[in-house]
Amino acid sequence: MNISSIIIKTLAKDLESCAKNLSKINGVEIALKEDSTIIAVIEAENVNEEVKLLKEIESTNGVISASMHYSYFEDELKDEISNMSKDLPKVLNDENIPLKNIRYTGSVDYMMKNK
């Protein structure tokens, strides 16, 4: 699942009608509207669907510009977490090792003392 925020520019006089039209698009939620700016949150199954939603937003009556500001890719995050845990030292993944037996050796102070 992809969740992204879109910053949308419109004329101040068109703000309400534009926000109303955007909120009718499936997968689009209006998070904020002020002056001539609308911030929408979109939810899509994948990047292709996300791009389709962005294009639909861009073509909505009253929209001057729409740009993606932030994207969160749930599946990619899960993959990254999985890959990170594979790279961790065994001691950090072993619940049977007491915390007192784990030593942090990444500090400059530790490195200088053990030089």
Task: Examine residue 28 and state whether it is found in any structural domain, yes or no.
Answer: yes
Give residue 82's pLDDT.
67
> pLDDT by residue (tens digit) across 88-112?
667 667 788 887 777 766 677 766 7
How far is it, in rounded angstroms, from Cα 97 to Cα 91?
7
Q: Does pLDDT of 114 surpass 80? A: no
- Structural domain including 54 reads 2-74
Task: Examine residue 8 and state whether it is found in any structural domain, yes or no.
Answer: yes
Task: Examine residue 23 and state whether it is found in any structural domain, yes or no.
Answer: yes
> pLDDT by residue (tens digit) across 30-63?
999 999 999 999 999 888 898 999 999 999 999 9
Number of alpha carbons in the 13 Å side-chain half-sphere of residue 30: 19
- pTM for the full predicted model: 0.64
Q: Give backbone dihedrals phi and psi of 61, rounded to 5 degrees, phi first.
A: -55, 125
User: Once rounded to an integer, what is the mean pLDDT over residues 20-33?
Assistant: 95
CATH number at residue 9: 3.30.70.920
How far is it, in rounded angstroms, from Cα 10 to Cα 87?
47
Task: Examine residue 79 and state whether it is found in any structural domain, yes or no.
Answer: no
Give the E-state strand segments of 1-115 in sequence order.
2-10, 28-34, 37-44, 63-73
Number of domains making up the chain: 1
Task: Examine residue 25 and state whether it is found in any structural domain, yes or no.
Answer: yes
Task: Examine residue 47 and state whether it is found in any structural domain, yes or no.
Answer: yes
